[in-house]
Amino acid sequence: MNTNGPGKLSLFPSYLLLSNWLNDSILVVTGIPEPNPSLNGFPIYPASIRNIYVDGKLLNGSLNLYLNSNNASLNLENNVLLSGEDGRATIIFPPYSPYLLTIFNLSNSLHPKLKIYGFYPIEKNNIIELKGLINIYIYTNFSTTFSYSSNETSVIFSGRGDRFIEIGFNSFNTSIPLLIREDELLTSKWLNSSIFPNNLPKSLLKEYYLSLLVIKDDQNPVLGDFAAAPTPIYLHSWVRDSSFAAIALQDAGHYMSALKYWHWMSSAPQITNGVWYTRYNFYTGKPSYNFGIEELDSLGLFEIGISNFLNLTENYSFFKEVLPRLNDTLRFQISHILNSSLHLIPQDLSVWEDREAYHFWTEAFNAIGMIEIRKTLEEFNITYPDLKEAEMDLNESIISHFWTGKEFVSAMTSSVLFTSNGTKIVLSPDPPVTDSATILPLVMGFLPYNSKYTKEDVQNVSSMLTIQGGLARFPGDDYHYSEYLYDSTGPDPPWIITTLFKALYYSREGNYVRSVNLLYWTYNHSQQGLLPEAIDPKLGVPLPTTSPLTWSAAMFVIVSLSLPEPQNSSYVFIIELIIGIVVIVTLFFALRKIRKR
């Protein structure tokens, strides 16, 4: 059991991905320590640049900055800012540029070190050239010494004051002011091309744009898949999380970024025809075979994402490209629904990957996906045998088996019942019954948002799982407390995505104030605007081991773009003012709790 929990440094991220959005990506270790790193399975690194990914290949090297950081953030120029007692460092990777630039303002002498394998160093004209798999050019105003031994090159930089290290991948050095200007202009241009969330309060616009940058930087710029988070334990591509990231980008008008993902997903290796693995290597796109379980909700999410993309773009040539994979998915769904006495999608581990069962989340998202893709197929005059029948059977079975009269059961397990007429398979609830994951399929179209089923389910989930103003996943959730991770002071932490599931419900319902209140809640529990996975249930601060979470950023974007028009602008202003005051008071007392500990 964890008795320490997160400290005040959990208000800053320990890891961030930064990309040039074309073909290169880096992992920034900010130097902000994780709580209980060994217990939580984290390597201990200084502030550094690692996982240098160039043209689809990971280089075996890192640049250790050795800056004693106590503050880290991502800004709207898409720069990573680090600061501490030694001074400041700004890491810049301009869009579509082969140049990685780190600018220092140092009060103490610093000695960054680049260590890389498979390259041979040459120094000429004040530039260090590393020859190997690619050519790397280093331009700096630090004093430098370098060595080469046994295929290992080390470059040590020394200096204080205003310094810089410019690294060009297959490109000679260029003007630093030009790089800074390009970074600002191109990042601003990309953000300004986003669909504007007309009904989002101005005070949340920065969070909307910052969330878009997180999603964009967390996308593999070559393959198109997304990392679940930059932290080592989540630096993989989950198909579920990635699908929501792509949906958020296409909702925001970034169609090419979303298209890259759907192309990747339609060609990714599968366990069997139509069924994806749960997790893939972020850098290679290969399945994580040691995590080789089926992710059956991804079938419906693929169908939903493709249909949504086509509705937004009318890119019919793309539809023809993905149609073979859609056919595989539909064949799997129809076959299993019609050939099962239960008329359900088979058991899987579903959204929380905690137990194998028939999950409402998986069943409902497959039902939504089948409806959406059938409508799309009809637009192309394509009919699919038995699709309508399977769709209706699945919907009826979900209502019949999962509805209790006041909520949808999270998961059901099967058993064999012996009767005088033989045997039959029956389902029974698999605790915990109440789960906030039931909200999102309802809100996304399994049933009308204003139906009795949806209203009662949301009401029941809210009454059972509201913690610190947010929504926990299910009763007895020990994931961050005493099971797998140990960075929470108690069980049942409220999660950002589940809280935003509820915010999306309020938005669909037309309840602007309640939806916006939850958007403020998520923003005010962030790491400098970077949304975590979950919040400490006692201290109210972000749980750092899985932050920032790509899916959290995606849900913020999706909800922001779904907001209805506010009913009364002056009333909304007063509400915003009250929320701001409450947030300041809450943060004050949270920090006092941390200091006392």
pLDDT in tens, 353-392: 999 999 999 999 999 999 999 999 999 999 888 999 999 9
Q: Residue ranges of the domains in the chain?
A: 12-189, 194-596
Rounded CA-CA distance 170/305 in Å is 36
Confidence of residue 589 (pLDDT cuts 50, 70, 90): low
Cβ count within 10 A of residue 324: 12
Is residue 79 scored above 60 in pLDDT? yes
**Residue scoring higher pLDDT (576 or 322):** 322
Confidence of residue 582 (pLDDT cuts 50, 70, 90): low
Name the average pLDDT for the chain: 93
State the fold for domain 12-189: Beta-galactosidase; Chain A, domain 5 (2.70.98)
Confidence of residue 497 (pLDDT cuts 50, 70, 90): very high
Provide mean pLDDT across the span 34-61. Answer: 91
pLDDT of 34 reads 86
Residue 345 main-chain phi, psi, to 5 deg: -65, 145
Lookup: tokens for 18:
């930064």
Instruction: For residue 142, give every residue at least 6 positions away whose Cβ sits within 8 Å of its Cβ, in sequence order, or none.
Output: 112, 157, 158, 159, 163, 165
**Residue scoring higher pLDDT (5 or 584):** 584
Give the amino acid at 324. P
pLDDT of 6 reads 54
Lookup: tokens for 275:
């069924």
Residues 588 and 536: beta-carbon distance below 8 Å: no
Is residue 188 scored above 90 in pLDDT? yes
pLDDT of 291 reads 81
Rounded CA-CA distance 82/64 in Å is 13
Provide mean pLDDT across the span 83-90. Answer: 96
Give the amino acid at 360. F
Give the amino acid at 379. E
Cβ count within 10 A of residue 495: 31
pLDDT of 588 reads 62
Rounded CA-CA distance 504/506 in Å is 5
Rounded CA-CA distance 200/191 in Å is 16
Provide mean pLDDT across the span 458-471. Answer: 97
pLDDT of 579 reads 60
Question: Alpha helix (H) ranges present in 14-73?
Answer: none
Rounded CA-CA distance 241/227 in Å is 8
pLDDT of 252 reads 99
Give the amino acid at 383. T
pLDDT in tens, 153-177: 999 999 999 999 999 999 998 899 9
- Sign (positive/negative) of CA torsion 524, 525, 529, 531? negative
**Residue scoring higher pLDDT (422 or 28):** 28
* Percent residues over pLDDT 70 in the chain: 93
Tokens 């140092």 correspond to what residue? 106
Is residue 418 scored above 80 in pLDDT? no
pLDDT of 399 reads 98
Is residue 5 scored above 60 in pLDDT? no
Residue 567 main-chain phi, psi, to 5 deg: -75, -35
Closest CA to 280 of 145, 270, 221: 270
Cβ count within 10 A of residue 452: 9
Rounded CA-CA distance 248/269 in Å is 24
Confidence of residue 2 (pLDDT cuts 50, 70, 90): very low
pLDDT of 486 reads 87
pTM over 0.75: yes
Cis link prior to 432 (omega < 30° from 0)?
yes
Rounded CA-CA distance 356/399 in Å is 20
Is residue 417 scored above 90 in pLDDT? no
Confidence of residue 15 (pLDDT cuts 50, 70, 90): very high
Closest CA to 100 of 145, 157, 164, 159: 164
**Residue scoring higher pLDDT (229 or 420):** 229
Closest CA to 495 of 530, 456, 460, 522: 522
Query: Which CATH code is given to the segment(s) 194-596?
Result: 1.50.10.10
pLDDT in tens, 237-267: 999 999 999 999 999 999 999 999 999 999 9
When computed from its CA atoms, the radius of gyration of the chain, rounded to whole angstroms, is 25
pLDDT of 568 reads 65
pLDDT in tens, 509-529: 999 999 999 999 999 999 999
pLDDT in tens, 281-305: 999 999 999 887 888 999 999 999 9
